[in-house]
Chain A
């Protein structure tokens, strides 16, 4: 039984999800205490319970302590089986975070899978479907498995109601890859997804992108979706290179002007473009897990966040390998999986 301290790092839900994912992959049971101790309302919330439920489902596992508000959980995985799975998350919780919990196991399982998850598709503090589709999954596919995500319906906070469908053709072993050299940028795109809000918001955001980054009209796109999804506004900025696409996301918020939403996102894009870095912060967080499961590989990124360092520690408690990060003089950092 592996013991995990849920309060490490920022004490959030990521420690739990990474543990569930790796336990399912490795077949090693674990016990986690002080779940989400760093949050105002600690313990398991509804969306975390759905992740536990999903992990149990794909491997016929058992979980003790899977109750709302519980701060301790014992998870015993069984054998992973590909197949058709459907999960529904309350409170417009993130579908992508649930996917993140079970994807590593299903992409190395015996037999293909189709997963349908309903809930939120574009949540703050979670990768958006767009990010997974454009940035993360292309890299995963290079490691062997075929993973495709379909956004059937948008789901924004707080209305939820979004649906994603993910098809997985697994491989038995992931191939290690290296993402070290930043090739020249080949394309750029800014897409505003908007629902239930005045269209002027989208135009104002794109106007800022155009002015600040000096991009041509062809790079800008508005994706107006039906009002049914409830109010939602997402700005996605893509920077495409030959072997990698980075996606930066801005979330429209009540009480925050369209200009500010765009400006915040652009600031991040600028920092990325001005640096020599290939893999930016959020993608780095996502890549650690599949790379570690592949048992090797490396990527070049910016200096690691607390979030990433904590994630690395949890990974090292399940897998007998080391995630070594070497800081370079130019502010970049190289993360290497050493077995």
Chain B
């Protein structure tokens, strides 16, 4: 015989209904018995029924098994006798079913699973629902309903897939919610950078599904704190968190005050502790705690924090007993925490605990596409905060973006820089209109301040020529010149420096004048051997 069955065998888990499934004598066939009815459907075959029941229901189970054999010879019934003393006790029923689901060898590739939720106490139905929803049962739900006219007890059935995204109408709603969540995480900014958008999608997925610690890394001003606030808003909106968002920058916590600020203290715990203080961790109970610059946290505080994360308990300074706080943790850092672990400044176990979901926010200069929408956002924010609309003329906007996206746009302070730039331009804009002149002034200011910022990269050059002149030298030349000057400073003579600098070409040439070549190069920048070595 060769009937090709493409469908996976159907396996149904069901609790024997000690009320609904009962019935004695021939009359039982006129009753609607959900477990039997499940196997009596014209257009639905149960290949295997995993029938769960208590010891006291063994006889009823026997009747049901025989009746199923009669109406559904295709169905194999596997009996599972469980210890359930009180089927109305949530804890007991949940643990029995949970254990059952955990120990069951599921093979979802080969078999199609369904959980029958019509039988059992309401408590059991709820437990089955929860276990299916949390995928302990990798199954869909099946529900049987009594017949409209009680004639043969057949009734009907319907299958409920808890993957709600499968339902068209619900899917549309979910899609909308998902989009709203993404938009809110982006602060309403229509970002265009693909990598950043992917990152936000991932954060949305994680933020809405877990309350585990999240670690946000990225350079200063990349928006870590803002993102933490938006994650909090999203969780609050989805009712995943009830309490407040407590934000603290660990760089501001120093000494005794650090312990006390975070974990609180009892009155008299130390000099100056005039009254009880609850501390930020307790304030975050039921809410979200955002610890920015976690890398700056002292080792003692790290140890306390780890315990607070793991045990949800900690000991306030000077207290005899521990207090409890159940908070969700988000931490931010611009440091290389792994490096701090290696140098002994950061606890490895704490890093392991917070390093579960790590998201790296890119620097603004790595997201050039997003500068324009963020510019727009900052302008609107200015308008909202100051109650004054400000616009960029088309020309001015073009000029600003050319600078911002171009090679000069270093944005070391990231969004903090951009926000400040917009605030300055908007404030200086005559009649709410930012002109080319205002933009020119601002870009010059930025250039200069970033120059200061990057001055450390070419110390000798700055010392010899002064920042103003260095600014006029291309980065291309700046790098080379800095290296040349450093070689000169290490050499005893011009010719020795020349030999070092032109060593490679020297090998291939017969007659060379390295000293001359070096002298001419330095002269291009109005520098001489003596200038370079002056004060050395």
A interface residues with partner B (beta carbon < 8 Å): 41, 43, 45-47, 49, 52-53, 56-57, 60-64, 66-69, 88-92, 118-119, 155, 157-161, 195-197, 227-231, 253-255
Could you give 6 example pairs across A and B, Cβ below 8 Å? A60-B2, A90-B75, A158-B153, A160-B71, A227-B25, A254-B30
Whether B40 is near chain A, meaning CB under 8 Å from some CB there, is yes
Interface residues in B372-407 (C-beta closer than 8 Å to A): none
Nearest B residue to A42 via CB reads B43
Asked if B3 lies at the interface with its beta carbon under 8 angstroms from chain A, I say yes
- Given the contacts A92-B71, A161-B70, A196-B27, A46 and B42 also touching, CB distance less than 8 Å: yes
Contact call A89/B73, Cβ cutoff below 8 A: yes
**Residue interface bits B25-57, CB-to-A below 8 A is 1, else 0:** 111011000000001111111000000000000
Cα A49 to Cα B154 in complex, Å, equals: 20
Closest to B5 in A: A67
Known: A160-B70, A230-B26. A254 touches B151 (CB 8 A): yes
The answer to whether B2 and A62 have CB atoms under 8 Å apart is yes
Interface mask (B1-15 → A, CB under 8 Å = 1, otherwise 0): 111111100000000
Chain B residues whose CB sits within 8 angstroms of the CB of A92 once the complex forms: 40, 70-71
Does B91 interact with chain A (Cβ within 8 Å)? no
CB distance from A283 to the nearest CB of B (A): 28
Q: Is the CB of B72 closer than 8 A to any CB of chain A?
A: yes
A46: chain B residues at CB < 8 Å are 42-43, 45, 74
Chain A residue nearest to B74 (CB atoms) is A90
CB distance from B128 to the nearest CB of A (A): 25
Query: In the complex the two chains form, what is the Cα distance from A228 to B75 in whole Å?
Result: 20
Our count of residue pairs bridging A and B at CB distance below 8 angstroms stands at: 99
B149 to chain A, nearest CB (A): 8
Query: Are B3 and A90 in contact, with the CB atoms below 8 A?
Result: no
Contacts A46-B43, A92-B71, A158-B152: A67 and B30 contacting too (C-beta < 8 A)? no
Report chain B residues within 8 Å CB of A56.
1-3
Evaluate contact between B43 and A61: CB separation under 8 angstroms: no
Q: Does B67 contact A (CB under 8 A)?
A: yes
Instruction: Tell me whether A57 and B45 are in contact (CB under 8 A).
Output: no
Interface size on B, residues (CB 8 A): 31
Q: Chain B, 55-88, contact with A by CB distance < 8 Å: what is the 0/1 string?
A: 0000000000001011111110000000000000
**Is the CB–CB distance between B41 and A91 below 8 Å?**
yes
Residue of B nearest to A55 (CB): B1
15 other contacts beyond A227-B25, A231-B27, with CB at 8 A cut-off?
A43-B43, A57-B1, A61-B1, A68-B44, A88-B74, A90-B71, A91-B40, A91-B41, A155-B70, A157-B152, A195-B26, A229-B26, A230-B29, A231-B30, A254-B30
Closest beta carbon of chain B to A93's beta carbon, Å: 8
Contacts of A52 in B (CB 8 A): 3
The residue on A at minimum CB distance from B69 is: A161
A30 to chain B, nearest CB (A): 16
Q: Which of B123-151 contact A (CB under 8 A)?
A: 151
A53, A68, A90 — most chain B CB neighbours (10 Å): A90
Give 4 nearest A-B pairs by CB, closest first.
Answer: A196-B26, A88-B73, A161-B70, A62-B2
Interface residues of B (CB under 8 A from A): 1-7, 25-27, 29-30, 39-45, 67, 69-75, 151-154
B30: which A residues are within 8 A, CB to CB?
231, 254
CA distance A155 to B29 in the complex (A): 12
Q: Are A159 and B29 in contact (CB under 8 A)?
A: yes
Say how far B62's CB is from chain A's closest CB, in angstroms: 14
B2 touches A61 (CB 8 A): yes
Question: Inside 8 A of B154's CB, which chain A residues have their CB?
Answer: 158
Contact of A158 with B73 in the complex, beta carbons under 8 Å: no
| Option from B3, B42, B153 in Cβ contact (under 8 Å) with A41 | B42
CB pair B45–A68 under 8 Å, yes or no, is yes
Given contacts A53-B3, A66-B4, whether A90 and B45 have CB atoms under 8 Å apart is yes
- CB closest residue in chain B, given A161: B70
Residues of chain B contacted by A227 (CB below 8 angstroms) = 25-26
Q: In the assembled complex, which residues on chain B have CB atoms less than 8 Å from the CB atom of A118?
A: 73
Q: How far is the CA of A195 from the CA of B30 in the complex (A)?
A: 13
A41 to B43, CA, bound (A): 8
Q: Tell me, rounded to whole Å, the shortest Cβ–Cβ distance linking B196 to chain A.
A: 47
Give the CA-CA distance A229 to B29 in the complex, in Å. 10
C-alpha spacing A195/B29, complex, angstroms: 12
On chain B, the residues within 8 Å of A61 by CB distance are 1-2
Q: Please state if A64 and B71 are interface contacts (CB–CB under 8 Å).
A: no
Distance in Å from the Cβ of A94 to the closest Cβ of chain B? 13
**Residues on the B chain within 8 Å of A66, using CB:** 3-5
| A158 pairs with B71, CB closer than 8 A | yes
Residues of B within 8 A of A89 (CB): 73
For the complex, what is the distance from the CA of A231 to the CA of B346, rounded to whole Å?
78
Q: Kindly state the separation between the CA atoms of A89 and B42 in the bound complex, as whole angstroms.
A: 11
- Please judge, given known A-B contacts A160-B70, A254-B30, whether A45 and B3 are in contact too, CB under 8 Å: no
Q: In the complex where A90-B74, A227-B25 touch, is A67 in contact with B153 (Cβ < 8 A)? A: no
Check if B3 sits within 8 Å of A63, measured CB to CB. yes
- Least distance between A105 CB and chain B CB atoms (Å): 14
A76 to chain B minimum Cβ distance, whole angstroms, is 9
The reply to whether B4 and A45 contact each other, CB–CB distance below 8 Å, is: no
* Shortest distance from the beta carbon of B190 to any chain A beta carbon, whole Å: 47
In whole angstroms, what is the CA distance A231 to B26 when docked?
A: 5
How far is A196 from B4 in the complex, measured between Cα atoms in Å? 40
| A36 shortest CB reach to chain B, Å | 11
> How far, in whole Å, are A45 and B70 apart by their CA atoms in the complex?
17
Query: Does A158 contact B4, Cβ atoms closer than 8 Å?
Result: no
Nearest-CB distance from A87 to chain B (Å)? 9
For A196, give its contact among B25, B42, B67 (CB under 8 Å).
Answer: B25
Which of B4, B5, B25, B29 gathers most chain A CB within 10 Å? B29
Contact of A67 among B7, B67, B72 (CB under 8 A): B7
Q: What is the CA–CA distance of A63 and B5 in the complex, to the nearest angstrom?
A: 10
B1–A53 contact, CB under 8 A? yes
Residues of A within 8 Å of B42, CB to CB, are: 41, 45-47, 91
| Complexed CA–CA distance, A47 and B73 (Å) | 12
Instruction: State the CA gap A227–B28 with chains docked (Å).
Output: 11
Chain A residue with the shortest CB-CB distance to B72 = A90
What is the bound-complex CA distance between A63 and B3, given in angstroms?
Answer: 5
Min distance, Cβ B23 to any Cβ of chain A, angstroms: 11
Q: A45-B43, A68-B44 are in contact. Are A91 and B71 (CB under 8 A)?
A: yes
Contacts of B41 in A (CB 8 A): 91
Best-surrounded residue of B4, B30, B42, B151 (most CB of chain A within 10 A)? B42
